[in-house]
Amino acid sequence: MTEKQDQRILNIRNAIDTVDSRIIALLQERATLAREIGQVKRELGLPILDPAREGKIRKKLSEGPQGPMDVQQLTRIYEMIMAESRRLQEEE
């Protein structure tokens, strides 16, 4: 690889690192909100799992902006995010 190619890769990786930092911050913000909603659900005697809400999220994924990732890829990522959000909601 030439030095110019190496620099292009380095620049792209730096951009990815910046995006990753934003994703991590947003996931932490989402986790904080998940804990808050879990507390409210416990106070109201509601179940943690809300299939209708998760269905709406899945629908948004299929209707959202199109890009290199297809709906199945996005859904797999969100399945993990929702599972971890439920786990956080269950914490006392």
Interatomic CA distance for residues 58 and 15, integer angstroms:
28
Which residues lie closer than 8 Å to 1 by C-beta, 6 or more apart? 9
Q: Which domain holds residue 75?
A: 3-90
Q: What is the CATH number of the domain that holds 61?
A: 1.20.59.10
Task: Please list the pLDDT of the chain residue by residue as tens digits (92 residues).
Answer: 677 778 999 999 999 999 999 999 999 999 999 999 999 999 999 999 999 999 999 999 989 888 999 999 999 999 999 999 999 999 87
How far apart CA 46 and CA 2 sit, in angstroms, is 60
Give the number of domains in the chain: 1
CA distance 38 to 90: 6
